[in-house]
Amino acid sequence: PPLHTLISSHDLEEVASRTISKKAWAFYSSAATDCITHRANCETFDRIWWRPRVLRNVQSACTKTRILGVESSVPFFCAPAAMARLVDGEGEKGIARACAKAGVLQCISTNASFPASEICASVPSHPFFFQLYVNKDRTQTDRLLKSLPSTIRAIFVTVDAPIAGKREADERVRADESLSTPMSGAKAKNDKKGGALGRIMGGYIDPGLCWEDMKWLRSITSLPIVVKGIMSVEDAVMCAEAGIDGIVISNHGGRNLDGAPPSLRTLLQLRLARPEIFRKMEVYLDGGIRRGTDVLKAVCLGATAVGIGRPILYALNYGEEGVSHFIEIIRDELEVAMKLVGITNLGQTSLECLDLGEVETG
């Protein structure tokens, strides 16, 4: 169907489910075992109500913010996702062009289909973030960080994937052995368990990574460090104490540990138990963001911004234009939500915009 007839992230997902390759759909859409966390990531947003205020002059609303000091037209960014080329030949470069046009930040994955230098070069001078998987061979990681282009403004080190989860839909579809990721050197090679790309291409990731290594990471880069994959209040506090610049509350889109708490629940627990943490470092969330209202709820709970994963890949089914279209859908939904809640800039977001009556926070 023509792109302009698709008016929500759900529309783009539905079309992707029947038009992209079987392997791309299996890899992108899959989550761990019974997909409980993946579903809950989305559904938890539905249990928080608004507490809208009226008569507040909402003629115009501004969605601009700063993420680690970098300007962003919206409080959301492209979450790092492996192998965007499975759905479109331009892959991450197409996403980059759409993001640059819209003033949106993209976090490039270590498992991207192109080297970061090529992705960044497709939109010279536009800022990016880089997601790091630490290699068992630390010299490789050191070399990778030193090779990054200067437009990379922060390192997001992913810590919720010491090993890949059991993604059954992805195991069932054989992997094409011509697939590879240039920055990690990984190649798709089916094994006895099947063809799940997260597992067979993530073999280089170091499961020995620990808190001590955060000091090593601090010593080899001068960029801000964000820890991605925080699932508990305790670990969020440890990050703040370790002088980490930011965290992404995330369970990898439900792709690793099934039963991990939905991201929004962890954010809410952190906000209620340790509000001071949000003044020490920036807090982001990803997992289950499908609507502008989802973005705004997370921001009201204290998130500086949120990451969006799968929907960007589904939008890329229509190339760069699809991603532009998707960004505009979410930006517009966000602006409408702000006005209807009774606020005109993100500085006015707070817990008072929300009715948490029905969410269980224990």
Alpha-carbon separation of residue 49 from 200, 202, 206, 297, 309 (angstroms)? 41, 39, 41, 9, 24
Ranges within 288-307 binding ligand FNR (CB under 6 A)? 288-289, 307
Among 13, 15, 40, 80, binds ligand FNR (CB under 6 A): 80
Query: What 3-state class would DSSP assign to 312?
Result: helix
Choose between 61 and 99: whose C-beta lies nearer to ligand FNR.
99
Kindly state whether residue 167 participates in binding ligand FNR, applying the rule CB under 6 A: no
Strands (E), 1-125: 49-50, 65-67, 70-72, 76-78, 107-108
The whole-angstrom separation of Cα 189 and Cα 194 is 9
Choose between 263 and 349: whose C-beta lies nearer to ligand FNR.
263
- 252 is annotated as an active-site residue: yes
Ranges within 210-269 binding ligand FNR (CB under 6 A)? 228, 250, 252-253
Q: Which of these, 197, 200, 171, lies nearest to 86 by C-alpha position? A: 197
Please state the closest distance from residue 197 (CB atom) to ligand FNR, in A: 8
Q: What burial class does residue 77 get, using C-beta atoms within 10 Å of its C-beta: 0-12 exposed, 13-18 middle, 19+ buried?
A: buried
The whole-angstrom separation of Cα 245 and Cα 155 is 10
Question: What is the residue type of 241?
Answer: E
Kindly state whether residue 95 participates in binding ligand FNR, applying the rule CB under 6 A: no
# binding residues, ligand FNR (CB under 6 A): 24
Quote the tokens at residue 229: 């994959």
Choose between 97 and 167: whose C-beta lies nearer to ligand FNR.
167
Choose between 27 and 326: whose C-beta lies nearer to ligand FNR.
27
Ranges within 97-136 binding ligand FNR (CB under 6 A)? 109, 111, 131
Q: Which residues belong to the active site? A: 252
Site residues, ligand FNR (CB under 6 A): 27-28, 41, 79-82, 109, 111, 131, 158, 228, 250, 252-253, 286-289, 307-310, 313
